[in-house]
């Protein structure tokens, strides 16, 4: 708690400010000295400038926060989407790889069978050549028909082999339709998670931190400016008090101020 002298001085300064404020309300500020009025004007102008600067910094903080929040939300959404794509791709690959072994068995059987078809074709072609040498029309026609049937069977089997190879290749490799290969998705996810982990260290975040520091410093300047305005108003009130500017509203302060001034003088002499 302050001493009695300090309390009285504070009351005295408060009453001087009230006197200056009342003078403003009744349009009597022009009765104060130019120095007192200019001091108040400068203090108010300085405070207005500091508040304008504070408002600007505050708006910049809000803008930066909104941009960072939007960027972080997008980053988190990208991570979630990539994880989902990775999960779907892994499940799809697991399901498809489960079908590879049966297809490989079918391919082995089909390649084995087509070799016999090839041998049968070669045998029939040999027989056709013999029939042609013997000039046996009946045998020639017979072997030609067999060869045509074998060729059709050979092409069907070859097509089946090609289809099996294609399916095995598709089921053995990552599918692009689900967002890329496992390796690509894992690399993308790692990069996104690393970016999110370092989000608080990004340049934009550092700018925001700097703005917050500026805001805190500017708030201190505003408080100092507000105190300066109060002091300037007290100075103006004291100027009016010393001049005893006559006005019904102001006159009632003078007697009270006289009492406080005498009390302060007496306490300071002790």
pLDDT-based confidence at residue 50 (cuts at 50, 70, 90): very high
Q: How is residue 178 written in tokens?
A: 């689900």
The answer to which of 5-9, 193-197, 249-253 has the lowest mean pLDDT is 193-197
Euclidean distance between CA atoms 226 and 235, whole angstroms: 14
**Model pLDDT, residue 2:** 56
Is residue 212 one of the residues assigned to a domain?
yes
Beta strands in 66-175 (DSSP E): none
Question: Is residue 269 scored above 90 in pLDDT?
Answer: no
Instruction: Report the number of distinct structural domains present in the chain.
Output: 1
pLDDT-based confidence at residue 173 (cuts at 50, 70, 90): low
Is residue 9 one of the residues assigned to a domain?
no
Is residue 108 one of the residues assigned to a domain?
yes
Share of residues in the chain with pLDDT > 70 (%): 94
Between 160 and 167, whose confidence is greater? 160
Question: Is residue 112 scored above 50 in pLDDT?
Answer: yes
Q: What is the DSSP letter of 150?
A: H
**Model pLDDT, residue 75:** 87
Question: With b meaning 16 or more CB within 10 Å and e meaning fewer, what string describes 199-210?
Answer: eeeeeebeebee
In which domain, by residue range, is 73 found?
Answer: 29-244
Is residue 81 one of the residues assigned to a domain?
yes
Question: Is residue 155 scored above 90 in pLDDT?
Answer: yes
Euclidean distance between CA atoms 131 and 138, whole angstroms: 9
**Model pLDDT, residue 96:** 67
Helix (H, G, I), strand (E, B) or coil at 28: coil
**Model pLDDT, residue 196:** 80
pLDDT-based confidence at residue 193 (cuts at 50, 70, 90): confident
Euclidean distance between CA atoms 136 and 143, whole angstroms: 11
Identify whether the C-beta of residue 222 lies closer than 8 Å to the C-beta of residue 228. no
202-261 pLDDT tens trace: 778 888 899 999 999 999 999 999 999 999 999 999 999 998 988 999 998 898 898 888
Is residue 254 one of the residues assigned to a domain?
no
Mean pLDDT over each residue of the chain, to the nearest integer: 87
Is residue 262 one of the residues assigned to a domain?
no
Q: What is the mean pLDDT of residues 165-185?
A: 68
**Model pLDDT, residue 109:** 92
**Model pLDDT, residue 178:** 45
Share of residues in the chain with pLDDT > 90 (%): 41
Question: Is residue 12 scored above 60 in pLDDT?
Answer: yes
What's the predicted TM-score (pTM) here?
A: 0.57
Question: Is residue 194 scored above 90 in pLDDT?
Answer: no
Nearest alpha carbon to residue 41 among 252, 236, 269: 236
Euclidean distance between CA atoms 90 and 15, whole angstroms: 79
Question: Is residue 172 scored above 90 in pLDDT?
Answer: no
Is residue 175 one of the residues assigned to a domain?
yes
Question: Is residue 69 scored above 90 in pLDDT?
Answer: no
* CATH code of 115's domain: 1.10.287
Is residue 253 one of the residues assigned to a domain?
no
């Amino acid at each position: 708690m302050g001493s009695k002298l300090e309390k009285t001085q504070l009351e005295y300064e408060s009453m001087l400010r009230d006197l200056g404020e009342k003078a403003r309300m009744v349009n009597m500020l022009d009765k104060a000295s130019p120095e007192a009025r200019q001091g108040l004007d400068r203090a108010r102008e300085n405070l207005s400038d500091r508040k304008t600067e504070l408002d600007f910094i505050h708006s910049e903080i809000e803008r930066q926060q909104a941009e960072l929040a939007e960027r972080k939300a997008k980053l988190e959404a990208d991570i979630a989407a990539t994880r989902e794509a990775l999960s779907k791709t892994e499940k799809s690959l697991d399901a498809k790889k489960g079908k590879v072994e049966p297809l490989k068995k079918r391919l082995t059987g089909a390649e084995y069978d087509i070799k016999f078809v090839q041998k049968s074709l070669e045998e029939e072609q040999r027989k056709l050549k013999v029939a042609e040498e013997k000039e046996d029309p009946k045998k020639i026609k017979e072997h030609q028909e067999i060869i045509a049937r074998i060729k059709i069977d050979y092409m069907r089997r070859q097509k089946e082999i090609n289809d099996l190879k294609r399916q095995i290749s598709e089921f053995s490799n990552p599918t692009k339709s689900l967002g890329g290969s496992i390796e690509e998705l894992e690399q993308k996810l790692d990069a996104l998670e690393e970016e999110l982990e370092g989000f608080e260290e990004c340049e934009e975040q550092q700018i925001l931190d700097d703005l917050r520091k500026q805001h805190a410093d500017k708030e201190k300047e505003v408080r100092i400016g507000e105190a300066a305005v109060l002091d300037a108003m007290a100075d103006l009130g004291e100027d009016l008090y010393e001049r005893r500017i006559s006005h019904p509203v102001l006159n009632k302060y003078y007697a009270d101020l006289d009492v406080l001034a005498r009390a302060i003088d007496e306490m300071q002499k002790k």
